[in-house]
Structure 1
Amino acid sequence: RQKKTASHTVTELENPKDCSQAGKPLFCPSHPTEKLSLFCEQCDQPVCQDCVLGRHRQHTYDFPSNVIHRHGDTLRELLKSTQQHMGTLEGVLSQVDDMGSAVRSRAEAVATEICLFASGYVEAIEEHRDRLLKQLEDLKVQKENLLHLQKAQLQQLLLDMRTGVEFTEHLLMNGSDLEILITKGVVSSCLTKLNSIAYSSHPSVDDRIQFSTQEKAGQCRGYEVFGAILNKVVDPARCTLQGEDLHSAHQNQLIGFTLLCCDSMGEQMGRGGETVQVTITHRDKKDCAVKPTVCDNGDGTYCISYSPEEPGLYAVCVCVKGQHVQGSPFSLMVKHKFREHQGVFHCCTFCSSGGQKAARCACGGTMPGGYQGCGHGHKGHPGCHHWSCCGQVKESSECLGGPPSDTSQRSLLRTVAL
């Protein structure tokens, strides 16, 4: 009923065959009495003759029969491309549906795996729990048995002492002088024997039973489990220090020693996590402290490394849980910078110099025949490889100084060069 659609033909969608416009003229929306007989190329729409004379006056136009082949080809290309996209989309939709089914199937399979894993993990944890409780019960029974045994021994010793004391008191109060003198030897021997019996003034065991949730407990049913009962407690008085150069070091040289933590029975802890404090301070220069590095090996041993910058005497303190360990504190002598060898580490001057007679060595060895240096098995030869600059037989040793006084600097330099 609107002006723009008054000339349009409306038909039912159920009967598309009845809506064919073939043979029926189409009228212009702007000029309802004029037929659409032309096509405006610039506006890309059908127009009537009045439109061409009006607002489409300067536009290029032609008859529909002349341009239909070109526009039809364009539509057919677009139609073909759209049909291809439709096929692709249908394939993608099919793949999406298939992937959805695969995702659901895979999710169900993974859910089954998770349930199996969780149930197995729960069983492993429960089994580990039962083992821990059994271990705890065994440990409790062991400690109780030791306490019962100690209690029985102490009660028997107390009973023997009480009997001896009562007998002796009764003898001294009611016995005659002759009776006391007659039984004195037996009573003295009995009391001396009772007094000589060694007994512990403390319970034979302690109540130090701990549970660590962070301790690795190996595998149970193929699962890694945590949690262990710890009945060992570190005893600083039993901890020891180990190292070759514990009391000596060189300036600016990285050196260290090992701390071995033990329990009250002297057994290695076998685990780490202890609080270890190490301080290294200069005896004369209080502000000159060395910052050590403590490395926990996880087996009850700790590596302490440091590099002193100033020579002199240092005091080293090693504490575990705030208490000094065995040998702490101790003195550390830091020598001047390590003296590198300036010579050659050789078997003898004869070999290293190629048989030069003037080549000398700080070992002081000589050879017959006018040779001023050492040779195998001759006088002064140390019998092994040694340094030509100081005669040291250890290759990693510190150089002790220059050659003997009768060795010229020129000969030494010659040996070094060789």
Structure 2
Amino acid sequence: MLLTCMHRTFSRKSEWAASPRQRRQKKTASHVVMELESTKDCSQAGKPFFCPSHPSEELGLFCEQCDQPVCQDCVAERHRQHPYDFTSNAVHRHGDSLRELLRSTQQRMSALEDVLGQTDGVGSAIRARAEAVATEICLFARGYVKAIEEHRDRLLKQLEDLKVQKENLLHLQKAQLQQLLLDMRTGVEFTERLLTSGSDLGILVTKGVVASRLAKLNSAAYSTHPSVDDSIQFSPQERAGQCHGYEVFGAVICKAVDPAKCTLQGEGLRSARQNELTGFTLLCSDTTGERMGRGGEAVVVTITHKDKKDCAVKPTVCDNGDGTYHISYSPEEPGLYAVCVYVKGQHVQGSPFIVMVKSQFRKHQGMFHCCTFCSSGGQKAARCACGGTMPGGYQGCGHGHKGHPGCPHWSCCGQVKMSSECLSGLPSDRSQRSLLRTVEL
């Protein structure tokens, strides 16, 4: 067995060379740590080990309490009453524990070697996978670039075709205007010569033809503005479908919204109810009246009370992305409201318009029945507001009396529809409704 800790007689120099911690420990004050090579040499040489405290005594015993080899003099002095045994016996016990630790350490070494091998394998797999993904990225990028370049060429071709189309239409319109202007000049020059140089008889003879020609020229229809505009735009965020399996964006747009061709529809254009959400829809079209297929227009809506200028409603404009916009609002006050809808700062068709906001819906507080007698369960004391009575001493009126609607009705206001609004308390038709009211028990 290799002993790494041996007793030795310290010189003064070696004592001071020891660390302060070693000097403070009494049990190991005389111990020194030797290199394995030196103990190996000693064991191989078969030389006996002598006690550092008793140089003439061999270390043949082992102190169990101090866990160190000792000599017979040590057992008699400093290690008195300490359990001890011969080194030949103690080495078997301690050797077994060392062998167990050795086996455990060897097993952990094997496990560590396996982990290291796996680590190297995982590192190789990571590098291989990263290279494969890098190849995929490069292939994807090359395909995407190719798709974008093809989409770019397609957009430029579409733009060139659109430019040629607009130029051709403009040239045609220009040629028509030039021809009309030439015909007018010819007619004007001929008429002026006729009036200045022609004879009276010549004027009277050609008057009908000349007048007809001038009238036809004057009635010729032509637009005061060129029918072709320069409305060509590029929308980079608009979806343009797929190209070689890649989704691309960007579209050339030649249609421009015309506020005069935009229309409104919906219930919220005519009437609304106090504190209830309502709304209408704006449909945008271009100069030809064709519906716009995209959103993104600057839509502004104002809703102002006619009598209370400080009472304005803040509407919500929702862009549906298909050329339509839903405007929703909830008025807090009843009355008449002026609604203005602007696109690109201009009124749309039908704007401004007036909306009548009714008061909050009145719920019925009475009973939906056919007469006082029925609603009271046949009680004699039940009185009717109309003053009618039934035979047999009943004060409540029944079917068929004056003002009875002939069908079930609300006792509070006389409305015959169960889902109707209660009109009780409103000034209109109060005299007629009073005959229909019956008491609610």
The answer as to 2:305 corresponding to 1:275 is no
Which deviations, in whole Å up to 9, do the C-alpha atoms of 1:225-250 show, x marking residues without a partner?
10011112222222222111323222
Shift in alpha-carbon separation, 1:219–1:29, aligned structure 2, 3 A: farther
- Aligned equivalent of 1:134: 157
Among candidates 280, 287, 290, match of residue 257 of structure 1: 280
Where 2:191 maps in the other structure, the secondary structure is helix
Stretch deviating more after TM superposition (62-71 or 220-229)? 62-71
Which has the larger Rg? 2
Q: How does 1:27-38 map to 2 (within 5 A)?
A: 27=50, 35-38=58-61
2:157 maps to a residue whose letter is K
Among candidates 140, 162, 168, match of residue 145 of structure 1: 168
- Aligned equivalent of 1:92: 115
- Aligned equivalent of 1:364: none
Among candidates 193, 200, 219, match of residue 242 of structure 2: 219
The answer as to 2:210 corresponding to 1:197 is no
- Aligned equivalent of 1:80: 103
Shift in alpha-carbon separation, 1:110–1:282, aligned structure 2, 3 A: same
Asked if 2 retains the 8 angstrom alpha-carbon contact of 1:272 and 1:301, the reply is yes
Asked if 2 retains the 8 angstrom alpha-carbon contact of 1:7 and 1:32, the reply is no
Asked if 2 retains the 8 angstrom alpha-carbon contact of 1:357 and 1:373, the reply is no
1:249 maps to a residue whose letter is A
Shift of 1:68: 2.4
The answer as to 2:145 corresponding to 1:122 is yes
Shift in alpha-carbon separation, 1:331–1:45, aligned structure 2, 3 A: farther
Q: How does 1:173-212 map to 2 (within 5 A)?
A: 173-212=196-235
Partner Cα separation in structure 2 for residue 200 and residue 9 of structure 1: 112
Among candidates 135, 150, 157, match of residue 112 of structure 1: 135
What RMSD over aligned residues (CA atoms) do the two structures have, in Å? 4.1
- Aligned equivalent of 2:265: 242
- Aligned equivalent of 2:91: 68
- Aligned equivalent of 1:337: 360
- Aligned equivalent of 1:409: 439
Asked if 2 retains the 8 angstrom alpha-carbon contact of 1:39 and 1:63, the reply is yes
Which deviations, in whole Å up to 9, do the C-alpha atoms of 1:199-248 show, x marking residues without a partner?
11221200110001011112222211100111122222222221113232
Partner Cα separation in structure 2 for residue 335 and residue 242 of structure 1: 20
Shift in alpha-carbon separation, 1:139–1:21, aligned structure 2, 3 A: same
Stretch deviating more after TM superposition (26-35 or 244-253)? 26-35
Shift in alpha-carbon separation, 1:262–1:54, aligned structure 2, 3 A: farther
Which deviations, in whole Å up to 9, do the C-alpha atoms of 1:390-409 show, x marking residues without a partner?
546585x5344597634523
Counting matched residue pairs gives: 388
Structure 1 spans left out of the alignment, 5+ residues: 359-370, 414-418
Shift of 1:182: 2.4
Among candidates 15, 23, 44, match of residue 21 of structure 1: 44
Asked if 2 retains the 8 angstrom alpha-carbon contact of 1:357 and 1:372, the reply is no
Asked if 1 retains the 8 angstrom alpha-carbon contact of 2:411 and 2:438, the reply is no
Where 2:276 maps in the other structure, the secondary structure is coil
Partner Cα separation in structure 2 for residue 8 and residue 133 of structure 1: 85
Partner Cα separation in structure 1 for residue 51 and residue 34 of structure 2: 9
Which deviations, in whole Å up to 9, do the C-alpha atoms of 1:45-88 show, x marking residues without a partner?
44556766887779765443343233223222222222222222
Partner Cα separation in structure 1 for residue 36 and residue 278 of structure 2: 104
Stretch deviating more after TM superposition (286-295 or 224-233)? 286-295
Asked if 2 retains the 8 angstrom alpha-carbon contact of 1:273 and 1:296, the reply is yes
Asked if 1 retains the 8 angstrom alpha-carbon contact of 2:318 and 2:325, the reply is yes
Stretch deviating more after TM superposition (149-158 or 306-315)? 306-315
Partner Cα separation in structure 2 for residue 9 and residue 137 of structure 1: 90
Q: Given the two structures, how large is their TM-score scaled by the length of structure 2?
A: 0.74
Shift in alpha-carbon separation, 1:59–1:197, aligned structure 2, 3 A: farther
The answer as to 2:356 corresponding to 1:326 is no
Shift of 1:151: 1.5
Partner Cα separation in structure 2 for residue 145 and residue 257 of structure 1: 40
Partner Cα separation in structure 1 for residue 410 and residue 86 of structure 2: 113
Shift in alpha-carbon separation, 1:222–1:38, aligned structure 2, 3 A: same
- Aligned equivalent of 1:284: 307
